Amino acid sequence: MMVVLSGLLAASLAIGLPVGSAYADEPTDGTGAGTSATEVLDSLEVKGRAPKTGYKRTQFGKAWADVDHNGCDTRNDILNRDLTGVRHKWRTHNCVVKSGKLHDPYTGKDIKFKKGKKTSTAVQIDHVVALSDAWQKGAQKLSEERRTALANDPYNLLAVQGRANQKKSDGDAATWLPSNKGFRCEYVARQIGVKHKYSLWVTQAEKEAMAKVLSSCPTQTVPDYTGVKDSTAEKTTESEQTEQTQTEQTQTEQSAEQAQQTQQTTQAPAPEPAPAPAPAPQPAPQQDVYYQNCTAARAAGAAPIYQGQPGYRSQLDRDHDGVACE
């Protein structure tokens, strides 16, 4: 068994597939990690940009393939790695990210992420070395497996602001740099690491742009981790995840119980109609009341007498206002 596992591991490394999950801050073999970024830059071949002829996204394999076989696609792997306060879609084994917050390295802004048709694009996954750029600088000579590894390598992927990603497009360091100047050194150093790992070259203009950025941070090394390290990031704790799961399960159980009650109510036989209420007793007919005059009405305590009341007579209502014996 150990021989088989060793063989699989060696095969994965040979074609450049990530071993393990994108969640981890793994050593990034082949990138020159830990070495001076300027030294690794100087080791890269300098050539002109090759034609874009033949480039298609499919040349780099299926978009967001599950190359590490952890049961989660690459896009959600990176969202899980780079976002904080992550909430997952239920019953996806903590894979599909439903919401979270990104501290965007490209702009330095905090962005709320919510999965949805009109909201998911607020946070996008960027190839640090764009695939089109890679194609024109050596990737077209790589095998399909190697290109698929490049497209899904966590080292070459960052969750970023959607607008910044669109502005970058397939630009290299000579045509685009993050507006967050505090991240430019690490950004350029990561591009250098990716190009070193996959034997990609740089153009003269690109090398000069990278060297200019690195001149402001001469001690910058090639990053040795897959994500942007942020010591202040607060990932959702295990207890919060458990509480979320329990809450969602409770809501589901309540919904199921309500549905069952509704079904039982629908299927239950109609109740017997209630007996008709007894007719209200008719009031006893009023006896005729006669007051000879208002003095008699007052003596009986009936004054004043309103029209329609027993004892009212027009003869007692001198001003004919409907009130007798006022």
Q: What are the structural domain ranges in the chain?
A: 25-229, 294-324
pLDDT in tens, 4-15: 334 433 434 333
DSSP E strands in 9-154: the ranges are 84-88, 97-103, 110-114, 123-127
Q: Report how far residue 206's alpha carbon sits from residue 47's, in angstroms, rounded to the nearest whole number.
A: 10
Q: Which residue has the higher pLDDT, 186 or 16?
A: 186
Instruction: Provide mean pLDDT across the span 230-251.
Output: 47
Average pLDDT, the chain: 81
pLDDT at 155: 96
pLDDT at 108: 97
Record the tokens describing residue 153, joined without a space: 């390598």
Q: Which neighbouring-strand residues pair with 36?
A: 221
Q: Report how far residue 129's alpha carbon sits from residue 138's, in angstroms, rounded to the nearest whole number.
A: 12
In total, the chain counts a number of residues equal to 326
pLDDT in tens, 76-94: 999 999 999 999 999 999 9
Sheet holding 84-88, edge to edge: 84-88, 97-103, 110-114
In a 13 Å sphere around the CA of 199, the CA atoms on its Cβ side amount to: 9
Q: Residue holding tokens 């896009």?
A: 75
Q: Report how far residue 325's alpha carbon sits from residue 312's, in angstroms, rounded to the nearest whole number.
A: 9
Q: Report how far residue 102's alpha carbon sits from residue 124's, in angstroms, rounded to the nearest whole number.
A: 10
Contacts of 130 (CB under 8 A, 6+ apart): 168, 169, 170, 171, 172
pLDDT at 13: 37
Q: Give phi and psi for 110, each to the nearest 5.
A: -90, 130
On the question of pLDDT at 158 being above 80, the answer is yes
On the question of pLDDT at 264 being above 60, the answer is no
Instruction: Provide mean pLDDT across the span 169-183.
Output: 97
Handedness of CA 64, 225, 167, 76 (dihedral sign): positive
Cα 162 vs. chain centroid, distance in angstroms? Answer: 13
The answer to whether residues 193 and 32 touch, using CB atoms and an 8 Å cutoff, is: yes
In a 13 Å sphere around the CA of 3, the CA atoms on its Cβ side amount to: 0
pLDDT at 307: 75
On the question of pLDDT at 43 being above 60, the answer is yes
pLDDT in tens, 96-116: 999 999 999 999 999 999 999
User: Residue 43: helix, strand or coil by DSSP?
Assistant: helix
The answer to whether residues 64 and 55 touch, using CB atoms and an 8 Å cutoff, is: no
Q: Which amino acid is at 242?
A: T
Closest to 324 in 3D by CA, of 301, 307, 299: 307
Q: Report how far residue 61's alpha carbon sits from residue 152's, in angstroms, rounded to the nearest whole number.
A: 9
Handedness of CA 307, 310, 315, 318 (dihedral sign): negative
- Tell me the percentage of the chain whose pLDDT exceeds 90: 58
pLDDT at 51: 95
